[in-house]
Amino acid sequence: MTTTLRPTAPEQRGPGGARSRSYEVCVNSRPVGTVDLATDHRFGPAAGRIIRLAVDERDRHRGRGTVAALAAEEVLRGWGCTRVEVSVDAGAEVGLGLAGALGYVERSRTMVKTLTAAPRLPEGTEGRRMTEAEYPGWRAESRAGYIQDWADRGVPAAEARAKAEADEHTLLPGGVHTEGTVLRVLTHQGSAVGRLWAALRDTGPGGADAFVFDVEVTPEYRGRGHGRSLMLLAEAEMLTLGARVLGLNVFAGNVPALRLYESLGYAPTAYHLYKPLL
């Protein structure tokens, strides 16, 4: 049997080399599923994305999804993409298994927690507003770390830098005064020990209506529980602003952060994976 992809509509093109197209997955010309492909708007035309891949229930467990994914990769290679990105729901065990078998590697995962009562910070620990004088230094450090996190996980440095700049323009247009955004400095017994960036979201990943974008403990104060205090501060601040579901993104390999989030009750809703297109 021959499995092929058959376009269902003309290819769509957009600014900056953006492309997208939808296909039917066909076996001997019989439709058995669908695939939606696009370049990834976060990184530009060199990054392709499998937006959706679905095989009809009666045709599952016959290798259709594997062949369709490989065919989708060939389409993206033809577009000039050098890697492919995909996000898989945390409960989609078959999809996660397929991605792993095809060589996709986890870059990060989205986790969320339903907020209830505002937590209390440990004695001697407080959160205060970040000042305008503190903002530029924090932003430079945060941006550099963010770029390195992406670069360490398969994103070329220039693309990672462009993404960081675009995110800052979108998420922090007013700097320290950005509406719906919490920028805090955590202090313990009068010393600044960490910094927090969280904000309300209209429609966030996993149903989150607020998101933690950055939690950073000052190096000399690490290993003393201040990361937990920063997350408790984030939960308290977002509850005050009316949020009920708090989300975050944790990069693969950041085991201490993952263990912290799990211990606080955060659960994964989606895994974000990538694969070089050699």
Which CATH number fits the domain that encloses residue 10? Answer: 3.40.630.30
* Cβ count near 223 (within 10 Å): 10
If one counts the domains in the chain, the total is 2
The domain containing residue 71 runs over which residues?
A: 3-81
Closest by CA position to 52, among listed 76, 40, 68, 34 = 34
- The pLDDT score that the predictor gives to residue 203 is 65
pLDDT of residue 204: 64
* pLDDT over 90 at 54, yes or no: yes
- Which one is predicted more confidently, 202 or 116? 116
Structure confidence at residue 146 (pLDDT): 95
| 103 part of a folded domain | no
pLDDT at residue 278 is higher than 90: no
Amino acid at 120: R
Evaluated on CA atoms 171, 173, 174, 176, the torsion sign reads positive
Q: Does residue 260 share a domain with residue 154?
A: yes
Mean pLDDT of the chain: 95
Task: Report the pLDDT averaged over residues 263-267.
Answer: 97
Q: If you average pLDDT over residues 136-147, what whole number do you get?
A: 96
* Structural domain ending residue among the three candidates 57, 81, 105: 81
pLDDT for position 3: 84
Domain contains 260: yes
Q: Give start and end residues of each alpha helix (H) in 87-190.
A: 93-101, 135-151, 157-171
Mean pLDDT computed over 39-46: 93
* Judgement on whether residues 168 and 127 belong to the same structural domain of the protein: yes
When pLDDT is averaged across residues 174-197 and rounded to a whole number, the result is 97
Query: Which of 59, 81, 103 lies at the terminal end of a domain, its last residue?
Result: 81
Position 76 pLDDT exceeds 80: yes
**pLDDT tens string 212-253:** 999 999 999 999 999 999 999 999 999 999 999 999 999 999
pLDDT(56) > 90: yes
